[in-house]
Structure 1
């Protein structure tokens, strides 16, 4: 098995240089050019078609293209989804460089469009990212949560699930470098800042399934973010009740830079929660991407990322009312102790970029990701549970006081250190009708954990579990272990672009390979997709692919700390059919898209979900499926600005081998999900804007703590939330002349003060009966912000 990665590397390098040699020979007549929109922004993925021969090339990410023409005079046509076709008559004797300009269709700003690169990735426009940077979590992830197929029940968390998957099944790349997530997060309170700084973003591509073999071996989704590197000098300053951020970019001779720093605190948001106490959350990060030109063909790019999250909490009390109209309950608890958590991670990545010709590129990159996580708490709680309306008293007996008086003591001291070093080689080459990409990657991982946690329960003077007058602990977890492993990956993809009978076809086929020496396992994953642009801007998409996710670290750990080593890759096979078409006429035209999918799940590791923490059950193996349909309507509900509504329905079940229960819902079985993003402005005055977000999703399954998955499960209540925000431009005429822009904003989070459940606080009585007290998310909060750019 160990010789296979070496052979794959040699084969990929050979294919690279063979392709480069083949493209070195061109006829003498070449047409070069660039394509951009009305705002002057370069457009990648645009088809450039020589109509007489029906030959085509596709513009690169910077909008440039190069085409070989056999005649002196010809007609060139530009085509791109949601933009008007544009034709140019070319006389090669007078012009060898063409600047193409594309104009949008009737919809002025389509925020989410299909990217015509045959990779099954959606392109999310920068204007949308900026607009969503106002919520409790903010940034790119907040925008993704409004997309069909994407679910999140936690406004404090940046994590999301996609089409029945979990938080560990999503890929994230920043400038081609894979970014990893921390392992020990228990709740959104600890997370703080997203890995993506929205002020630095230039382009966002996202796929909810059926993505290319170019992207890695996760089961659910791929998010590809590119940070901006250009010669535009710009600085942005932002401040709000949740924190501050600063960003600057520009160019100095051959040196380009894009730097951002952020500070965030959620004390204001957390102060309204049921758990009262001294919250001290502090989050900050510093990111930078730099590029230095070494000449016409070579450049160096450096990506740096440092993030620190400190979460300190001294709980004092908690007062929660829950239950039903027939049986209302009142839960009161007094605390003693504190929690102190720290998460520190940073990324360094250096890339050497070689462009031997205008239609080829080779990138060699080395990166390092280091993560240090600490969780420490010793918290004692004395609780009282009774029917609502009765006065809480310590002297009331259990029978009169429903569950009576009890206490618990919870201890945790967890430490995890992770280091991942990676080397990767990627290259891509073009000719007049296709794009070939290939790459190899080597990763060396080292993970060390030293963790202990346990809990003691006492109800009315009785310690639980009762063990002959011996005080015992429950939910014990002890882990001291390290993993040193190596992973090898490689991929080859081919994209074809060609018109047939008035239709534009974009096809992508590819193959991905991975091998892990710790598991001594290798996998092959073929993938394919076809995008067909029909007449009248109708589009059809077909995709199929195999996705195999090898265990990383959390998957090996059982509930009591046992390390289960004999695992293998989880497998998901995607089948996808999608269709989109414009609706309406004139300026109110909209686009309706529908996508149906089926995912066959094999060799899955069952898991339980508590808030955002995933507890895997590696002792078991399950097989199952996820099937569903996603729908989205996007367009101008009011003239000049885009809004959209998305709806998703899914069903996700699994059958655990040997349990005799048959199919049971997976923790991500969130049947119905409905999102609305709506924008408006004052009539005749676009300097005053309004935005509204509506979220609704049905409840997900959950189990009692320390339970093994059976057909005896419960469902949380549905998640309902409305956020609304207003912004006003304060830019004076003098500021505009100097290129400055000033906006102030006012937001209301959770407008109707909905009580949304994220997890449960479990308590016991003397008979070991368990009661689930809901942990609610944030209530109604206000926020004031200011943004200055110049």
Structure 2
């Protein structure tokens, strides 16, 4: 009898449980109304749930009652939650639409005109280590970028020339702050270098045009260098090189780090060993001191300080056409200081704030055959920026900037001085709109005002990118860019207005499994370029009257997969540029814009030898120049430029690197133009001298030793 009672009770409870269950059914779709299989559907706080089938449908039972939260989650999509009331036996949920989740790992990125070098982004072209191990660069950041698409190698200058633009049309920034006089001062036809050590930076952003509204006052390009965050260890770094040496010491913990470094270089011993075509009275020399500090602040902020001071000089005889003897003696001394501080923090509510202040001071003392000239340039930059993510699909980048520029030229003995001071204020706003996972639009503007020129302006900019395949992206960028003329012209005519350029860029980027292919076509127009009467050494009647254009395309291919332990990239750029500028009466091809540019870089690591072998080869079809013995302007062209460079990095121990490099291995005689006498000789001909490569071949040898507790740290970023 007792067993019958227990059996009856069991079936009664089973029936009651069955009657208490609720069946949930429904369907999950994406934003294009396509079925989403594999979506997790469950009641939060319980074990009840299921997954969608191939048709996006789900069905499961639950014993829960009352008001509950039904969740839908799937990797790559935003989790959706819906409040339901469990009272009926069966509930059919209306179709659920899951939105794609937007982040840097899977969202389309704008690649038109943009090339990044970073360890953090997937869309980079180069890594930081790639930049400093390019053989022809000799550790110079700009030297490495001269192997990238859109750039031209002007061997007797050393600065960055982009798509038919002058080197002054490239703006250089460190942590978002403009750097005044970023290149070392040098004599004519003696190549210069950027002042800053590549080991400072964790990544770079290089734009060949169409760049963000955050950057301005540059017609052609923006080069943004981002310094490292906290150092990961305390260590000392000793460098012994064929041209000098240096030492850097870093102190670091989890919250702060400090690096102090000093370097000295002197080409005099090298000049005595390796013959050069330069006629040095005193070979170049210099000394520098640099401090970089980082500090974590409360609630996730990061504060940085960077300061640098340096002094150097040279004395050089430059021969003059038609004049006997050694020519003109140029005695140059340069002192330079740069300091900046910045702070940034990202907040949990979607806001990110940035504020920074920088100051550059450059002084040149030049003695030209007994004429003493002092040239001083000071630039102050203050900036505040704020970005806000309204949602995963909408973000805004806004900011305000202030610049103060003071410039002076003084004939010391005569006591004659000319100078100007100027205030500029800028406001920028830029918005990113993710219209879908495959389509993004960026639009914005940059507004500015100049107290000296008494001018206001507004520059619109826009970009669009569409992911046409899993690995391919098509981008389009356009915009207006303005820049005040260089200081040597503005001091002659302070009323000069902005020069103007408009960019249109079409880009295709393909990246997959260690391979990158990038093709880009562009068109640039120029207005209000500087023109003057007379000769460049003594311009008269300086005015905004010039115009011109630059158009062309470039191709880049990089492969790290095909050949074992081998990485290489190939770049070709075509530029058709014409300008009516400076002293020219007609539109001419500038002498800094060769039509064809080709470069190849190869790096191969030999494991048994613990060595990396490097090769880089650069070519362009020659530079234009005006021969006064022939009719017309820019009527002649030099022969093709070629430079084959090799390097060898040997790591006998993890903390010891021996690095050697040589440029122009084949000894190609590169000519960059000709200097002509101002008056004809007795035969009516203007005599000339070639402007050649002063150092036909440059050799470098360096030993880099790192002192640290784990004995595994090294100076690879210094190579």
TM-score range with shorter-chain normalisation?
0.7 to 0.9
Matched, 1:580 2:580: no
SS in 2 for 1:199: helix
Alignment of 1:308-323 (within 5 A): 308-313=311-316
Residue equivalent to 1:75 = 74
- Unaligned runs of 5+ residues in structure 1 are 1-50, 54-69, 79-86, 91-99, 104-110, 321-330, 379-410, 454-476, 558-562, 732-739
- Residue 52 of structure 1, CA deviation: 7.3
Residue equivalent to 1:622 = 546
Residue equivalent to 1:713 = 635
Aligned residues: 608
Shift in CA distance, 173/259, structure 1 to aligned 2, threshold 3 Å: farther
Q: Distance in 1 between matches of 2:445 and 2:120?
A: 17
Q: 2:598 aligns with which of 668, 674, 677?
A: 674
Q: 1:290 aligns with which of 270, 290, 293?
A: 293
Q: Distance in 1 between matches of 2:565 and 2:530?
A: 48
**Preserved CA contact (<8 Å) 1:123 1:204:** no
**Preserved CA contact (<8 Å) 2:132 2:139:** no
**Preserved CA contact (<8 Å) 1:235 1:248:** yes
Please say which of residues 709-718 and 287-296 is displaced more in the overlay: 709-718
- Residue 756 of structure 1, CA deviation: 1.2
**Preserved CA contact (<8 Å) 2:203 2:226:** yes
Q: Distance in 1 between matches of 2:142 and 2:428?
A: 27
Alignment of 1:102-121 (within 5 A): none
**Preserved CA contact (<8 Å) 1:139 1:198:** yes
Q: Distance in 2 between matches of 1:217 and 1:287?
A: 27
Which string of whole-angstrom CA distances, capped at 9 and with x for unpartnered residues, describes residues 626-661 of structure 1? 0010011111352233210100111111246998x6
Residue equivalent to 2:426 = 489
Q: 1:438 aligns with which of 377, 398, 407?
A: 398
Alignment of 1:134-213 (within 5 A): 135=136, 137-154=138-155, 157-181=157-181, 185-187=186-188, 189=190, 191=192, 193-213=193-213
Q: 1:701 aligns with which of 591, 614, 624?
A: 624
Shift in CA distance, 667/308, structure 1 to aligned 2, threshold 3 Å: same
Residue equivalent to 1:499 = 436
Shift in CA distance, 235/226, structure 1 to aligned 2, threshold 3 Å: farther
Q: 2:388 aligns with which of 404, 423, 429?
A: 429
**Preserved CA contact (<8 Å) 1:201 1:226:** yes
Q: Distance in 2 between matches of 1:494 and 1:690?
A: 44
- Residue 448 of structure 1, CA deviation: 1.3
Residue equivalent to 2:668 = 754
Q: Distance in 2 between matches of 1:151 and 1:249?
A: 37
Residue equivalent to 1:643 = 568
**Preserved CA contact (<8 Å) 2:535 2:583:** no
Q: 2:652 aligns with which of 686, 708, 730?
A: 730
Larger Rg: 2
- Residue 484 of structure 1, CA deviation: 1.5
Residue equivalent to 2:243 = 242
SS in 2 for 1:77: coil
Shift in CA distance, 180/52, structure 1 to aligned 2, threshold 3 Å: farther
**Preserved CA contact (<8 Å) 1:530 1:542:** yes
SS in 1 for 2:633: coil
Q: Distance in 2 between matches of 1:231 and 1:116?
A: 15
Which string of whole-angstrom CA distances, capped at 9 and with x for unpartnered residues, describes residues 125-144 of structure 1? 11212313x65753211110
- Residue 167 of structure 1, CA deviation: 1.0
**Preserved CA contact (<8 Å) 1:123 1:205:** no
Q: Distance in 2 between matches of 1:767 and 1:123?
A: 55
Q: Distance in 2 between matches of 1:521 and 1:648?
A: 36
- Unaligned runs of 5+ residues in structure 2 are 1-37, 41-68, 82-102, 107-113, 707-712, 714-719
SS in 1 for 2:572: strand
**TM-score under structure 1 length normalisation:** 0.69
Residue equivalent to 1:367 = 358
Residue equivalent to 1:564 = 493
Shift in CA distance, 177/277, structure 1 to aligned 2, threshold 3 Å: closer
Which string of whole-angstrom CA distances, capped at 9 and with x for unpartnered residues, describes residues 242-269 of structure 1? 2324334452463223444333334436
**Preserved CA contact (<8 Å) 1:547 1:572:** yes
RMSD value over aligned CA atoms?
4.2
Q: 2:610 aligns with which of 687, 708, 715?
A: 687
Please say which of residues 138-147 and 442-451 is displaced more in the overlay: 442-451
Which string of whole-angstrom CA distances, capped at 9 and with x for unpartnered residues, describes residues 659-700 of structure 1? 8x6532233331100011011234x53612211110111222
Alignment of 1:303-452 (within 5 A): 303-313=306-316, 334-335=325-326, 338-357=329-348, 359-378=350-369, 412-430=371-389, 431-451=391-411
Alignment of 1:23-38 (within 5 A): none
Residue equivalent to 2:690 = 774
**TM-score under structure 2 length normalisation:** 0.75
Shift in CA distance, 728/298, structure 1 to aligned 2, threshold 3 Å: closer
**Preserved CA contact (<8 Å) 1:610 1:759:** no
Q: Distance in 2 between matches of 1:357 and 1:609?
A: 60
- Residue 712 of structure 1, CA deviation: 5.3
- Residue 304 of structure 1, CA deviation: 0.9
Q: Distance in 1 between matches of 2:436 and 2:689?
A: 60
Q: Distance in 2 between matches of 1:288 and 1:555?
A: 34
Shift in CA distance, 658/774, structure 1 to aligned 2, threshold 3 Å: closer
